[in-house]
């Protein structure tokens, strides 16, 4: 039986030196075709060249490990342009446009979108375009329950 957690660890060890991590790994059947789907993440944006690079590394490692006996298709993808963010690591995204979901509304809003200006232990400063002006909103970090990049 395929141990996906063990496989994830083995594959991640081969891509971690390049800054990649595995966000999700799944082995399933789609339209009678067996599919090993792997979603990777990286702090920097992942373009087609990077997906190709990491896919080659994973494919080579799978050839070495040979964990799946039957024929299958390998599908390597990224979280995309609007990937979810770890709230504890928001400081990595200063200067980037983000969408924040708040557990306690700020000025009546549960969702805010803008550019991260500053992040500290207690607060997040988000620069939001309000009509023709930009306004800085100072948000309680504990009130942010979800975050993602915004395009």
Summarised one tens digit per residue, pLDDT across range 105-141 is: 999 999 999 999 999 999 999 999 988 899 999 999 9
- 28 closest CA partner among 19, 37, 16: 37
**Burial of residue 35, with CB atoms counted within 10 A of its CB: 0-12 exposed, 13-18 middle, 19 or more buried:** middle
As averages over each run of 10 residues, the pLDDT of the chain (151 residues) reads 95 97 95 95 92 97 96 96 93 96 96 97 95 94 96 89
Strands 73-78 and 33-42: parallel
pLDDT, residue 130, reads 82
pLDDT, residue 39, reads 97
d(CA 4, CA 38): 11
pLDDT, residue 128, reads 96
């Amino acid at each position: 039986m395929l141990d996906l957690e063990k496989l994830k660890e083995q594959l991640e060890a081969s891509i971690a030196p390049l800054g990649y991590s595995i966000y999700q790994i799944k082995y399933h059947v789609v339209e009678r075709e067996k599919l090993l789907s792997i979603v990777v993440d990286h702090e920097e944006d992942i373009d087609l060249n990077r997906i190709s690079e990491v896919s080659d590394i994973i494919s080579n490692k799978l050839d070495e490990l040979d964990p799946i006996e039957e024929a299958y298709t390998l599908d390597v993808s990224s979280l995309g342009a609007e990937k979810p963010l770890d709230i504890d690591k928001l400081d990595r995204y200063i200067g980037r446009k983000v969408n924040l979901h708040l557990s306690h509304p700020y000025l009546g809003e549960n969702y805010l979108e803008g550019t991260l200006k500053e992040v500290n232990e207690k607060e997040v400063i988000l620069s939001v375009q309000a009509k023709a002006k930009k306004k800085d909103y100072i948000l309680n970090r504990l009130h942010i329950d979800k975050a993602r990049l915004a395009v």
